[in-house]
Amino acid sequence: MAEVLVKRLRKEFPDGTVAVEELDLEIADGELFVLLGPSGCGKTTTLRCVAGLEHETSGQIVIGDEVVSGLRPSQRDIAMVFQFYALYPHMSVRDNLAFPLRAAKRPAAEVDERVAESARMLRLEPFLDRRPGKLSGGEQQRVALGRAMVRHPKAFLMDEPLTNLDAELRADMRAELKHVQQRLNSTMIYVTHDQTEAMALGHRIAIMNNGRLEQLGEPMEVYDRPATLFAARFIGSPPMNLIEAEVTNGHLTAAGALTIAAPDGMQRGDRVIAGVRPENLTVSESDPDGARGRVVSREALGDETIYVVETEAGLLNVRMPPTARFAEDQVVSVRHEGAAPPVYDPQTERLAGR
Amino acid sequence: MATHIQPGGLAGEGIAGETAPPPVRRRRRLGSGFELVLLALLAIVMLFPVVWMLETALKETRDIYAVPAKVINFGPTLEHLKDVFSSDSPVFSGFQNSVIVATASTIIATVLGVPAAWAYSRFPIPAKKDQLFFILSTRFMPPVVVVIPVFLMFRDLGLLDTLQGLVLVYAAFNLPFTIWMMKGFIDELPAEYEEAAMLDGYSRFEAFWRVTMPLLIPGIAATAVFALIFSWNEFVFSIFLITDPDSRTAPAAIAGLIGGTTINWGLVAASAMVFALPVLIFAFLVRKHLVAGVTLGAVRR
């Protein structure tokens, strides 16, 4: 296992599109590091540069203590799991698992032993003699993981490995993946566009947009204090409410007389955008401190109910316990509760204050 | 997502978990009487020459000239077929030459064409589309157009009347076709297979050889059969570039049977039947891939 450093990475394709712009990442030994972003943000290109499948235009990639720029993928001692698994369809599961070891010309006894070990860990023993085409999506996924594990590489690269599974299986595989990563204590770079997956898996999350890093931090840090408006919109479901507000005496006031606690160090009269999580708003029948509004939609999810309330400050997502019962079209009040939310400068779209 | 990544040849196997049974095709009832009559008429028109050749090949010589024609009640004989393979047969060496020329030119076109198609499919190449169009454009031309320049070149190079010369021409004609058809097959095969093999410890070329090649074998077989059929059937170059009766290929040799004072029609027909047989057998063996090859790219994934 080893750490992975990405230094000032830039990737420009021959047609002129810049996929990655000046990216710096330090991934620690044994870390599960998630690259998160919408499609086309450069996260997969970054991963392919680390793998050696793309050549960086400039910058440097270090795996362990070795600068790998210019080395072939096979010389980098890393393993990758692809979105479509890329299991060799003409080989049995056993041969698929043994493939990297045979490539390294390991003795047959060792190959058998390592294959058996991986198969046991991923519960693949019953399928060893089948072809990948005869396996279900989840089983194929486990074979892909096993093929990556079998060689004990310096690092794992995962390119949206769970995207092609159905929702239920995805949650199972997520848990399994986390378990395997912990057990092997392996360095893993995990690319995804699914923020739930990123939150559930990552030790740290890097949010990317347009080839740049928007924010880097631990999951809860990213959730509580998104560094930019982009990150604020991307993380959380339903997304954060972004409310235009003005700093008045001691707090923030938005249209419709919605008052929000103000962070320290704000100047009276500053105009900001406050990022308020749906769980920090409450709906009540009527509230003198709240903004008046009308319930436009109501999603009862069982363990919670999501209300969308139309107020003068815009459409607000509110997360309420299932005990709250408001009907659609009902006139209600929305109030902010809890500590001061992160606020953003409308011009720079970055965190303001403090 | 129902994107399928199986290569063409394995498409039938599907991906477990996403496998949906193909829609049951409703059995069509036999068409109307009119349709049947039309189809029967067409079948007679298409099959008549073939049946007539087959009959002629099997008839005794005097029955061939019988008037009115003996369609069923002729005396059957294998004499003519035996003559085709006899030691003093004027066409047997033609068949031997055809086998050599068709096989050699197909092998050359495949060995050169498959890696070229792989490169065009996988790598960014400057002006790739123009290059591919140029390659295809060499097939727009009917062979007759270039036969005289080729004849002059071959005369200077001493390649006239040689099988090597013919192999060269056929390989050159088959190469564009091989590149285009193989490129289609390779495009269908996800590059991830090779990338996975590269990360698993192989070089780019080893990855191609160990992972892509085995998956391409059905495609290569189909392409090779097309090339083989072209080289086997080719007539124009053969008749122009070869005058020596010992170096002629089968089509030219068979054509050479016609034109004497007496024509042995039984031998002509028997030779033609023997000539048609390999093509029929090959086409039958790879019929599934021939259709796949012809309709390639018609369905978007």
Q: What is the 3-state secondary structure (H, E, C) of chain B?
A: CCCCCCCHHHHHHCCCCCCCCCCCCCCCCCCCHHHHHHHHHHHHHHHHHHHHHHHHHHECHHHHCCCCCCCCCCCECCHHHHHHHCCCCCCHHHHHHHHHHHHHHHHHHHHHHHHHHHHHHHCCCCCHHHHHHHHHHCCCCCHHHHHHHHHHHHHHHCCCCCHHHHHHHHHHHHHHHHHHHHHHHHHHCCCHHHHHHHHCCCCHHHHHHHHHHHHHHHHHHHHHHHHHHHHHHCCHHHHHHCCCCCCCCHHHHHHHHCCCCCCCHHHHHHHHHHHHHHHHHHHHHCHHHHHHHHCCCCCCC
Interchain pair A90, B193: CB under 8 A = no
Domain with CATH 2.40.50.140 in chain A: 241-344
Interchain pair A84, B198: CB under 8 A = no
Q: Which of A50-54, A75-79, A229-233, B289-293 has the lowest mean pLDDT?
A: B289-293
What average pLDDT does chain B have? 84
Q: Which residue has the higher pLDDT, A31 or B282?
A: A31
Rounded Cα–Cα distance for residues A116 and A122 (Å): 10
Amino acid code (one letter) for B228: L
Interchain CB contact of A99 with B (< 8 Å): yes
Query: Tens digits of per-residue pLDDT, B217-260?
Result: 888 988 998 899 999 999 999 999 998 888 999 999 999 888 87
| C-alpha distances in Å from residue B248, one per residue of A319, B82, B92, B94, B237 | 87, 20, 10, 5, 11
Minimal Cβ distance to A84: which of B192, B199, B215? B192
Query: Tens digits of per-residue pLDDT, A303-323?
Result: 999 999 999 989 999 999 988
Q: Which of A243, A263, A264, A265 is nearest to A254 (CA)?
A: A243
Give the gap in angstroms from C-alpha A135 to the nearest C-alpha of chain B: 5
Interchain pair B200, A74: CB under 8 A = yes
Query: Tens digits of per-residue pLDDT, A211-224?
Result: 999 999 999 999 99
* Superfamily of structural domain A241-344: Nucleic acid-binding proteins (2.40.50.140)
Residue B298 has pLDDT above 50, yes or no: no
Provide the residue count of chain A.
Answer: 354
Give the gap in angstroms from C-alpha B224 to the nearest C-alpha of chain A: 21
What average pLDDT does chain A have? 91
Three-state secondary structure call for residue A16: coil
Q: Which of A17-26, B73-82, B154-163 has the lowest mean pLDDT?
A: B73-82
Give the nearest chain A residue to B194 (CA atoms). A86
Give the nearest chain B residue to A156 (CA atoms). B199
> For residue B293, what pLDDT is reported?
57
Are the beta carbons of B175 and B105 closer than 8 angstroms? Answer: no
Give the nearest chain A residue to B201 (CA atoms). A74
Locate the domains of chain B by residue range. Answer: 32-77, 86-294
> For residue B294, what pLDDT is reported?
55
Interchain CB contact of B12 with A (< 8 Å): no
Give the gap in angstroms from C-alpha B96 to the nearest C-alpha of chain A: 37
* Superfamily of structural domain A4-234: P-loop containing nucleotide triphosphate hydrolases (3.40.50.300)
Are the beta carbons of B139 and B195 closer than 8 angstroms? Answer: no
Rounded Cα–Cα distance for residues A138 and A172 (Å): 9
> For residue B17, what pLDDT is reported?
43
Fold of domain B86-294: MetI-like fold (1.10.3720)
Are the beta carbons of B15 and A133 closer than 8 angstroms? Answer: yes
Interchain pair A137, B16: CB under 8 A = yes
User: Which residue, among A99, A101, A151, would best test binding to B if mutated, counting the most B CBs under 10 Å from its CB?
Assistant: A99
Interchain pair B200, A100: CB under 8 A = yes
Which residues on chain B are in Cβ contact (under 8 Å) with A92? none
* pTM for the full predicted model: 0.80
> For residue B292, what pLDDT is reported?
62
Give the nearest chain A residue to B17 (CA atoms). A136
Query: Tens digits of per-residue pLDDT, A64-88?
Result: 989 998 899 999 999 999 998 899 9
Confidence of residue A287 (pLDDT cuts 50, 70, 90): confident
Percent of chain B with pLDDT over 90: 51
Q: Three-state SS string across B113-152, please?
A: HHHHHHHHHHCCCCCHHHHHHHHHHCCCCCHHHHHHHHHH
Are the beta carbons of A189 and A155 closer than 8 angstroms? Answer: yes
Are the beta carbons of A349 and A230 closer than 8 angstroms? Answer: yes
Q: What is the ipTM of this complex?
A: 0.84
Interchain CB contact of B3 with A (< 8 Å): yes
Interchain CB contact of B149 with A (< 8 Å): no
Rounding to the nearest 10 degrees, give the CA dihedral for residues A324, A325, A331, A332.
Answer: -10
Three-state secondary structure call for residue A116: helix
Interchain pair A133, B203: CB under 8 A = no
| C-alpha distances in Å from residue A298, one per residue of A105, A274, A310, A329, A335 | 61, 23, 12, 10, 17
Rounded Cα–Cα distance for residues B10 and B214 (Å): 11
Which residues on chain B are in Cβ contact (under 8 Å) with A131? 13
Which residues on chain A are in Cβ contact (under 8 Å) with B4? none
Interchain CB contact of B122 with A (< 8 Å): no
